[in-house]
Amino acid sequence: MTSPFLPDALCFLDGSYGPVKDARISPLDRGFIFGDGVYEVLPAYGGRIFRFDEHMARLERSLQELRIPNPHTREQWLAIARRLIADRQAAGAANQLVYLQVTRGVAVRDHVMPDGLVPTVFALASEMKQPGAGQRAEGVACVTADDFRWRKAHIKSTSLLGSVLARQISADVGATETVMFRDGFLSEAASSNVWVVKNGAVLGTPRDELVLEGIRYGLIESICRDEGIAFELRRVTREEVFAADELLLSSATKEVLPVTRLDGRPVGSGRPGPVGARLHAAYQRAIAAQSI
């Protein structure tokens, strides 16, 4: 029986295109049994993919960490994404997200990683749901929680139960995101990176195994360099987060989004600040310049 929640969209599964509602995989696929796989999400604006090579580099790093062979070249991934984008554009979706997933493949259930499996490849494009104008003008509210996830957060793994539980903490109280701390230091949000602005400088957490390095890491660093904004990656304490002049979220859908309330308290002046505004404006210029 087909779920009523499935979109009427074209998908790619193991070399073939067809309606996602008709797609089938084995229940012994290791992605289903173990979450043994990785994924990537490509934002596309007006049919053009933003920072494609950077997304592919992260997909390749994640596959290498899990010792799964990359089943496609970058040119093949691009062709798959473009066909799915064209299908959603024909349905009226201007801006889209292309979800790519690779699992280790199908095998009898065993924790040991078998050799020689054929990876399962799935891809689907869907409409990009972005923050509204009101959220950008007023900022959003977030809550905090301890980071209870595993210590390999740098892998963009399909094993996302920790992030699901973390995001539900904020959803339950009507907040936009859950900002997480590990041993008193900022890590990231459930599905976003977090940036602290203090005295005009942008602070972020180091590139290590405790956070997923968002594609916006390198982008925000380059924007800050071009804009003459001080930028530093280091351990950021919980106290520094609550004393921030501005607090920002970044992700494929949020782009750069101001946080104006944290755990019910105002961040800085309680209004979006000038550094976040400059980053967001430069981000829009980058979309026009760095999409293919």
Which sequence positions are flagged as catalytic? 156
Bridge pairing between strands 265-266 and 255-262: antiparallel
Residues 6+ apart with CB under 8 A from 107: 28, 30, 114, 117
3-state secondary structure of 84: helix
Angle of CA points 284, 198, 196, to nearest 5°? 60
Instruction: Please name the amino acid found at residue 36.
Output: D
3-state secondary structure of 87: helix
3-state secondary structure of 229: coil
**CA distance linking residue 208 with residue 194, whole number of Å:** 15
Q: Which helix (H) or strand (E) holds 41?
A: strand 37-45
- Among 61, 92, 228, 272, smallest CA distance to 155 is for 61
Distance from chain centroid for Cα 179: 15
Distance from chain centroid for Cα 171: 17
3-state secondary structure of 149: coil
Residues 6+ apart with CB under 8 A from 118: 71, 105, 106
3-state secondary structure of 32: helix
